[in-house]
A and B are shown apart, each in its own frame.
Chain A
Amino acid sequence: MVEQSTRATDRPLPLPRANLLHLLEQMVLIRRFEEKTMEMLALNRIRGYCHWNIGEEASVVGAVTALTENDRLITSYRDHGFAIARGTPPETVMAELFGKEGGCAGGRGGSMHMVDIARGYFGGYGIVAGHLPLAAGLALAADYLGEDRAVLCAFGDGATNIGAFHESLNLSKLWHLPVVWLITNNQYGMGTSVHRASAEAELYKRACAYEMYSEQVDGMDVLSVYEATERLLRRAREDREPSLLETLTYRYPGHSYADAGKSYRTKEEIERWHQRDPIRLFQRYLEEHGILNQGEYDLVERRVSQKIEEAVKFAEESPFPSPDTLFKYLYAEEGTK
């Protein structure tokens, strides 16, 4: 399927140069950010889980960049990259991982619960497919209030075998809710491959049970993901039609910090996906179109590196929440919503 998709390089430039470079820089930022979190984990600055988006940058950045300012995003726990792609400052994502007050959830959420309501990011959730009904509800609210926005709901391939997935797809089509369901199919739910978990391994086909439009795209090609998501979000906003989009991608590291990712995948398979590294693919595309040269790419890396150093510095310097605030945020205080 990956081989069959149309390569971005066959098409004319779909976006202005600045936007293309922005896509690249966001992908590099997420890659380097995640690599830094591995380092910080080893140094015990970060505790608990860490589910990385490494390898999935094109799927994440392509989809999130297609959102308008008004649109809303909600995701699973593999969420660092989604927050960053939505524009959440990397320093507040890093500070969240450090468990600091300056984190985007005040250090209460950690790796799995990034959030940025002001930017329309309604959070990362730790129970597989548990947030899909919430996405339907966010879309319902937008519809109810007559708001010009759509909801993008991202989850992994592992989420498609649980009831909440089916219930949410059914409700969204039944009620014509403006939502795009995004399967980031990285081939494995933890260590169980799609083929060992799903009777229908072509996950996008499941939408047909709900008379819902769906398609599958090359998740290593940022432009394909962007183009499809943008089109489907427009359809959600304008026609009040939900849809299901599957991106075929791969996570290079293991499921989380405790998994090397090697017991259930062959070296050859991992190598094969590395051949289609989303950042290298897009870098090559930009070079072929004369948009980027090696020197300019190096500048991107340098800018990213600086941002990440600043993120770590911010996270280090941000204070830990005081134990006195243990019960803060459990219930609404007077005057809050």
Chain B
Amino acid sequence: MAEGTYRQALQQALREELIRDERVFLMGEEIGLFGGSYKITDGLLQEFGEKRVRDTPISEEGFLGAGIGAAMGGLRPVVEIMTINFILIAMDQIVNNAAKIRYMFGGAIGVPMVIRTPGGAGVGLTAQHSQSLEVWFASTPGLIVVAPSTPADAKGLLKASIRSNDPVLFYEHLMLYNDKGEIPDEDYVVPIGKAEIRRPGKDLTMISHSLMTQRSLKAAEELERNHGISAEVVDLRSLRPLDFDTIAASVRKTNHVLCIEEGWLSYGIGAEIAARVADECFDWLDAPVKRIGGAEVPMPYSKPLESAAMPSHERILEAAIRARRGS
């Protein structure tokens, strides 16, 4: 166990899997010579060569689809899409091909591939570069969607994703890349489909993923310190499959729920969880389920506006108090 960043954890996972399995190869824009737009793959071209670390043209539909074909042809591609905002160009490949091939061909063949892509706002990249679109994929049967919030999970979930026999959308967050934490040195694999209790509590369940889990943790500390509210923070880690058992167990304990997400609330992850909690945990609720998410506007540029559009830990804190009070 050593301390390292989320970025280093991702690179460790890629490196270990490239060494472990000859069929694993990386493909994406600027991942080789340039070292990666966010430097996740820096140095891997030099270590593994062009066959294993393949630079592509700006051609998302083309190379993402080629990843699907390569997976069908016996390889284990890890395709990097520079940001989730660019993934829309390759949407047909993901939704119509990757997600459907195993099913529509009656199980004749699968697509064991990983699509790594960062998203999120907070660094002034504006409307077309700041989106949280992971929920679109989470609503698509046939895909797996994971979103780590810590360096350890970044490593463990990426390794699990590369070993998965189904297509995985691996959602990273731009604002987490420099976060530090303990990273297990060993062959560390985190099972897909298991949520994690990041902080135990008894008064309120706070459910989130990715960057919002870190902000929720910060808010939870203040809730305890200044408001006497003990919040349990559930990190979903996997959006599809969703670990509802862990959510339900927490709700039965705290009887209060706040869902936090960076993306738009309408038809979102919190909406899904709130519906299922209402359906399956109604008798355990002492107050309505509350949600907080990104403002439903294209992300503005100016810093005060961008901040106003994102759930900050202060606003999460306020929402948590309301969720606990039931008002």
A interface residues (Cβ-Cβ under 8 A, vs B): 72, 74, 103-109, 113, 115-117, 122-123, 125-127, 130-142, 144-145, 163-164, 167-168, 170-171, 174, 328-332, 336-337
Identity of the chain B residue whose Cβ is nearest the Cβ of A335 in the assembled complex: B165
User: Do the beta carbons of A130 and B66 come within 8 Å of each other?
Assistant: no
Residue of B nearest to A103 (CB): B106
Closest chain A residue to B77 by CB distance?
A137
Q: How far is the CA of A332 from the CA of B56 in the complex (A)?
A: 29
Q: List 23 A-B residue pairs with CB atoms under 8 Å apart, sorted by A's residue number.
A: A104-B106, A105-B104, A108-B103, A109-B105, A113-B104, A113-B105, A117-B105, A117-B109, A123-B101, A123-B108, A127-B92, A134-B66, A136-B65, A138-B70, A141-B69, A141-B70, A145-B74, A167-B62, A171-B56, A171-B57, A171-B66, A331-B166, A336-B110
When the two chains form their complex, are residues A141 and B74 in contact, meaning their CB atoms are under 8 A apart? yes
Bound complex: CA of A329 vs CA of B64, how far in Å? 22
Report the minimum CB–CB distance from A299 to chain B (whole Å): 35
* Least CB separation from A101: chain B residue: B106
Please determine whether B69 and A133 come into contact, CB atoms closer than 8 angstroms.
yes
From B56, B67, B73, B97, A142 is in contact (CB under 8 Å) with: B73
Q: Which 4 A-B pairs have the closest CB atoms?
A: A137-B69, A133-B65, A141-B73, A106-B106
Q: In this assembly, does B71 line the interface, its C-beta being within 8 Å of a C-beta of chain A?
A: yes
Query: Which residues of chain B (49-72) have a CB below 8 Å from chain A?
Result: 51, 56-57, 59, 61-72
For A332, the chain B residues whose CB sits under 8 A away are: 102, 110, 112, 164-166
How many residues on B have C-beta within 8 angstroms of the other chain's C-beta atoms? 42
Using A122-B109, A130-B92, A171-B57 as known contacts, say yes or no to A108 and B65 having CB atoms under 8 A apart.
no
Q: Is the CB of A171 within 8 A of B63?
A: yes
Q: Are A107 and B65 in contact (CB under 8 A)?
A: no
Interface residue from A113, A138, A168 paired with B72 (Cβ < 8 Å): A138
Bound-complex Cα distance A311 to B93 (A): 33
Residues of A within 8 A of B73 (CB): 72, 137-142, 145
Cβ distance B269 to chain A, nearest Cβ, rounded Å = 20
Query: In the complex the two chains form, what is the Cα distance from A63 to B103 in whole Å?
Result: 28
Complex-state Cα separation, A174 to B62, whole angstroms: 12
Q: How far is the CA of A257 from the CA of B145 in the complex (A)?
A: 38
Q: Would you call B109 and A106 a contact (CB within 8 A)?
A: no
Q: Taking A167-B63, A170-B62, A336-B110 as given, write out 14 further A-B residue pairs in contact, using a Cβ cutoff of 8 Å, ordered by the A residue number.
A: A108-B104, A113-B104, A122-B69, A130-B65, A136-B66, A137-B65, A137-B70, A138-B73, A140-B73, A144-B75, A168-B65, A171-B59, A331-B142, A337-B165
Known contacts A133-B69, A141-B75, A329-B102; A171/B62 CB under 8 A: yes
The answer on a CB contact under 8 Å between B109 and A115 is yes
Q: Does B96 make an interface contact (CB < 8 A)?
A: yes
Rounded to whole angstroms, the CA-CA distance of A99 and B109 in the bound complex is 19
Q: Does B107 contact A (CB under 8 A)?
A: yes
In the complex the two chains form, is A133's CB within 8 Å of B109's CB? no
**What is the 8 Å Cβ interface bit string for chain B, positions 179-198, against chain A (1 contact, 0 not)?**
00000000000000000000
**Chain A residue at smallest Cβ distance from B66:** A137
| B200 close to A (CB within 8 Å) | no
Cβ-closest chain A residue relative to B113: A137
Query: B59, B73, B110: which has the most chain A beta carbons within 10 Å?
Result: B73
Decide if A337 touches B112 in the complex (CB within 8 Å): yes
Residues of B within 8 A of A138 (CB): 69-70, 72-73
**Residues of chain B within 8 A of A167, CB atoms compared:** 59, 61-63
Q: Which residue of B lies closest to A132 (CB)?
A: B65
B69 contacts which chain A residues (CB < 8 A)? 74, 122, 133-141
Residue B25, interface by CB 8 Å: yes
Contact indicator per residue, chain B 126-142, by CB within 8 Å of chain A (1) or not (0): 00000000000000011
A164 near B65 with CB under 8 A, answer yes
Contacts of B64 in A (CB 8 A): 133
B203 smallest CB distance to A (angstroms): 37
CA A164 – CA B90 in complex, angstroms? 10
> Beyond A133-B62, A134-B69, is A109–B106 a contact (Cβ under 8 Å)?
yes
Contacts of A135 in B (CB 8 A): 69
Q: How far apart sit A136 and B56, CA to CA, in the bound complex (Å)?
A: 13
Docked Cα-Cα span, A127 to B90, in Å, equals: 13
B107 with A336: CB separation less than 8 A:
yes
**Nearest residue, chain B, Cβ from A113:** B104
Give A103 to B106 CA distance when docked, in angstroms: 9
A107 to B109, CA, bound (A): 15
Residue-wise, chain B 203-225 has the 8 Å CB interface mask toward A (1 for contact) of 00000000000000000000000
Find chain B residues with CB under 8 A from A103 CB.
Answer: 106
Min CB distance, B30 to chain A, in Å? Answer: 16
State whether B72 touches A122 (Cβ < 8 A): yes
B63: min CB distance to chain A, Å: 7
**Which chain A residue shows the least CB distance to B65?**
A133
In the complex, what distance in Å separates the CA atom of A325 from the CA atom of B236?
A: 29
In angstroms, how far is the closest chain B Cβ from the Cβ of A154? 15
Q: Are A170 and B59 touching (Cβ within 8 A)?
A: yes
Of chain A, the residue at the smallest CB distance from B106 is A106
Give CA–CA (A124, B106) in the complex, Å.
13
Query: Given A134-B68, A137-B68, A140-B73, does the pair A331, B62 have CB atoms closer than 8 Å?
Result: no
Question: How many Å lie between the Cα of A106 and that of B102 in the bound state?
Answer: 11
Tell me the complex Cα distance, A142–B141, Å.
29
Chain B hits for A134, CB < 8 A: 65-66, 68-69, 72, 97
The interface centre, meaning the residue of B51, B57, B77, B93 with most chain A CB atoms within 10 A of its CB, is: B93
Cross-chain contact A329 with B61 (CB below 8 angstroms): no
